[in-house]
Amino acid sequence: MFKPCNRYLLIERNMKSEEESLIALPEGAFNTESRYEKVTISGVAPDVRPPIAVGQDVVVLTHMIEEVEFDNVTVYLVLENHVLGIVGDEYGSE
């Protein structure tokens, strides 16, 4: 169990598996990484303000996601202010 602090959000990334291509291209020939990523919040620091909450899907800047490894565990964190928006039915109809 990992509890984030200092306005950090613990997130679950929706990693896409890379499909193997039949055509060999030089590495980096195409930039397939998106600037933005939809992630699910699995933990929030006590000082994070609503409406951000556990279980929500949010869009964040991909390059701001921090990968932290310790004790053979990897967690992904992002700061509260790097959340661009909340994704969901209750937010899509405004």
- Cα gap 59→9, rounded to integer Å: 12
Name 39's Cβ contacts closer than 8 Å, sequence gap at least 6.
Answer: 11, 12, 13, 14, 57, 58, 59, 60, 65, 76, 78
Has residue 87 been placed in a domain?
yes
Has residue 48 been placed in a domain?
yes
Supply the range of the domain harboring residue 73.
8-14+33-92
Has residue 21 been placed in a domain?
no
Has residue 88 been placed in a domain?
yes
The residue-averaged pLDDT of 74-88 equals 96
Percent of the chain at pLDDT above 90?
69
CA atoms within 13 A on the CB side of 79: 5
Q: What residues are paired with 58 via a beta bridge?
A: 39, 86
Determine if the pTM surpasses 0.85: no
Q: Please write the tens of the pLDDT for every residue from 42-80.
A: 999 999 999 999 999 999 999 999 999 999 999 999 999
Total domains in the fold of the chain: 1
Has residue 70 been placed in a domain?
yes
Has residue 26 been placed in a domain?
no
Question: Which residue type does 35 have?
Answer: R
Q: Specify the CATH number for the domain of residue 59.
A: 2.30.33
Has residue 24 been placed in a domain?
no
The residue-averaged pLDDT of 36-43 equals 97
Has residue 49 been placed in a domain?
yes
